[in-house]
């Protein structure tokens, strides 16, 4: 695999995407879909995505170690 070409996770929607890709508008931190979203809206998406990620981690921890 060429260096610099690795799957990225979009900060806004959490989607895995390749970067850089020729002809794609995606940036290092945002996939092609989210690049098209206005910056202010994207900020909200990022906030929500952070919460979802935290919740997923919590859920995983709970599943690994059931209480009791
Ligand atoms: Zn995205």
Domain range summary for the chain, segments of one domain joined by +: 6-64
Phi/psi of residue 48, nearest 5 degrees: -65, -40
Distance 67 CA to ligand 1 centre (A): 35
Cα distance from N-terminal residue to C-terminal residue, the chain: 45
4 Rama class: left (phi>0) / alpha (psi -120 to 50) / beta: left
pLDDT level of residue 65 (50, 70, 90 thresholds): confident
- The CA distance from 47 to 68, in Å, is 33
Distance 65 CA to ligand 1 centre (A): 31
Distance 60 CA to ligand 1 centre (A): 23
Average pLDDT on 53-66 reads 92
The pLDDT assigned to 67 comes to 66
pTM over the 0.85 mark: no
The DSSP element (H or E) to which 59 belongs, if any, is: helix 39-64
pLDDT per residue as tens digits for the range 20-31: 999 999 999 999
């Amino acid at each position: 695999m060429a260096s610099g070409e690795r799957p990225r996770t979009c900060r806004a929607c959490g989607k895995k995407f390749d970067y850089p890709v020729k002809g794609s508008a995606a940036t290092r931190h945002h996939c092609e879909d989210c690049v098209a979203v206005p910056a202010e809206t994207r900020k909200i998406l990022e906030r929500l995505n952070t919460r979802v990620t935290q919740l997923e981690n919590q859920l995983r921890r709970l599943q690994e170690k059931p209480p009791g």
